[in-house]
């Protein structure tokens, strides 16, 4: 039995296989419509979500399976003090696979150590979000035709943005990927991620100025400043609008640059960009469902 807690647990070959499966699902959805008949997915969301929870549920329904679960800690027995370990043991009696989101880093790992069914990390605090990364990789592959030879700009909250940490972990395994890190000083990429890239001789550029690096980028990955992870409201209010992407700011961007954002968006991307051919963030949402379908099949061992 296998879980997915960190994207690094998947080999490049396994990621390639998931991408192939997702593309095949897109081309031939009817082939997959009954693959998970009789199987149950439990979505245990201790933290708010729109995309991740609903796309997991849509994914399971489109595979012919069913879903159960909760969308807030308050509506579960966690509100009475039940531990993640006990919850995981209990849910293992009802379901075949778990997708768990939790505000505490490491909670899905604890769940995987106690459950008797596979556990998927659907986002743990400011740490990791491996299935968002699968959505991001499919989007990049479909838009650019490759996952190597790319200059990728990450912009916004690189400190608390778990999707950034997971995507860097995935992309660093492909050849000739250059990372451009654009953030206020207070929201720089965590030292452990930065030092690990430097130790392995990755080319990284750090700047606070988005427009100065715009012409180099093949991918611009915008992120929301994660207000819920700040200890200081005043600091959040000061930093939340550090970067707002507008059509004017794209003047020097490559005509085929892809703009990604894991969403939800607050102010970081003007709605005036939504109809720009480079805007990929709503395609990313749909790609997330297909990659979660591919992942559920893989972890349940369905051919
Ligand atoms: N991208 C993402 O994780 O969105 P939700 O918080 O809505 O699930």
The DSSP annotation for the chain comes to ---BSSGGGS-HHHHHHHHHHHHHHHH-GGGGTTTTTT-EEEEEESS--SHHHHHHHHHHHHTT-EEEEESSGGGSGGGGT--HHHHHHHHTTT-SEEEEEESSTTHHHHHHHH-SS-EEEEEETTTB-HHHHHHHHHHHHHHHS-SSSEEEEEES-TTT-HHHHHHHHHHTTSTTEEEEEE--GGGPPPHHHHHHHHHTT--EEEES-HHHHGGG-SEEEE----GGG-S-HHHHHHHTTS--B-GGGGTTS-TTPEEE--S--SSSB-GGGTTSTTB-HHHHHHHHHHHHHHHHHHHHT--
Exposure on the CB side of residue 136, measured as CA atoms within 13 A: 28
Mean pLDDT of 14-31: 98
Ligand 1 centroid to residue 285 C-alpha, Å: 9
pLDDT tens, residue by residue, 113-166? 999 999 999 999 989 999 999 999 999 999 999 999 999 999 999 999 999 999
Q: Does residue 146 carry a catalytic annotation?
A: no
Q: Does residue 129 carry a catalytic annotation?
A: yes
Active-site hit among 53, 101, 165, 240: 101
Ligand 1 centroid to residue 44 C-alpha, Å: 14
Q: Which residues contact 181 (CB under 8 A, 6 or more apart)?
A: 153, 154, 158, 188, 189, 194, 204, 205, 206, 207
Nearest Cα residue to atom 4 of ligand 1: 51
Pocket of ligand 1 (CB under 6 A): 49-52, 123, 132, 262-264
User: Does the pLDDT at position 9 exceed 90?
Assistant: yes
Asked if residue 96 lies in contact with residue 39, where contact means CB atoms within 8 angstroms, the answer is yes
CATH 3.90.870.10 fits 130-284, yes or no: no
Ligand 1 atom closest to the Cα of residue 263 is 1
pLDDT tens, residue by residue, 237-258? 998 989 999 999 999 999 999 9
Distance CA 89, CA 14 (A): 28
Q: Which residues contact 63 (CB under 8 A, 6 or more apart)?
A: 32, 33, 34, 35, 36, 39, 293, 296, 297
206 falls in which pLDDT band (50, 70, 90)?
Answer: very high
Query: What is the CATH T-level fold of the domain 7-128+288-300, as seen in this structure?
Result: Rossmann fold (3.40.50)
Asked if residue 251 lies in contact with residue 196, where contact means CB atoms within 8 angstroms, the answer is no
Q: Is the dihedral of CA 33, 34, 40, 41 positive or negative?
A: negative
Mean pLDDT of 60-85: 98
pLDDT tens, residue by residue, 155-195? 999 999 999 999 999 999 999 999 999 999 999 999 999 99
Distance CA 183, CA 115 (A): 38
Ligand 1 atom closest to the Cα of residue 53 is 8
Asked if residue 128 lies in contact with residue 52, where contact means CB atoms within 8 angstroms, the answer is no
Pocket probe for ligand 1: among 52, 160, 162, 229, the residue whose CB has the most ligand atoms within 8 Å is 52
pTM of the model: 0.96
Mean pLDDT of 64-82: 97
User: Does the pLDDT at position 28 exceed 90?
Assistant: yes
User: Does the pLDDT at position 42 exceed 90?
Assistant: yes
Instruction: List, by residue range, all CATH 3.40.50.1370 domains of the chain.
Output: 7-128+288-300, 130-284
């Amino acid at each position: 039995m296998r879980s997915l807690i960190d994207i690094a647990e998947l080999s490049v070959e396994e990621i390639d296989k998931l991408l192939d499966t997702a593309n095949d699902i897109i081309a031939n959805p009817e082939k997959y419509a009954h693959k998970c008949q009789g199987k149950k997915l439990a979505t245990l969301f201790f933290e708010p979500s729109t995309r991740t929870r609903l796309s997991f549920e849509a994914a399971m329904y489109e595979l012919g399976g069913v879903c159960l679960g909760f969308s807030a800690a308050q509506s579960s027995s966690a509100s009475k003090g039940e531990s993640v370990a006990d919850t995981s043991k209990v849910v293992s009696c009802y379901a075949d696979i778990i997708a768990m989101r939790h505000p505490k880093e490491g909670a899905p790992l604890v769940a995987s150590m106690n459950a008797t069914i596979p556990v998927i990390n659907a986002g743990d605090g400011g740490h990791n979000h491996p299935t968002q990364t699968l959505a991001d990789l499919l989007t990049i592959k479909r838009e650019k035709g490759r996952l190597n030879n790319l200059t990728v700009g990450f912009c916004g909250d690189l400190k608390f943005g778990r999707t950034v940490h997971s995507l860097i972990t995935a992309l660093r395994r492909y050849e000739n990927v250059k990372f451009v890190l654009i953030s206020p000083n207070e929201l720089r990429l965590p030292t452990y991620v930065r030092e690990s890239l430097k130790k392995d001789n990755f080319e990284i550029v750090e700047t606070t100025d988005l427009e100065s690096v715009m012409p180099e980028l093949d991918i611009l990955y915008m992120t929301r400043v994660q207000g819920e992870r700040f200890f200081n409201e005043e600091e959040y209010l000061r930093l939340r609008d550090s970067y707002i992407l507008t059509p004017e700011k794209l003047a020097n961007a490559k005509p085929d640059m892809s703009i990604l954002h894991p969403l939800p968006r607050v102010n970081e991307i003007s709605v005036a960009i939504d109809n720009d051919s480079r805007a990929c963030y709503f395609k990313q949402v749909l790609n997330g469902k297909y990659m979660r379908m591919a992942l559920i099949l893989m972890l349940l061992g369905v051919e």
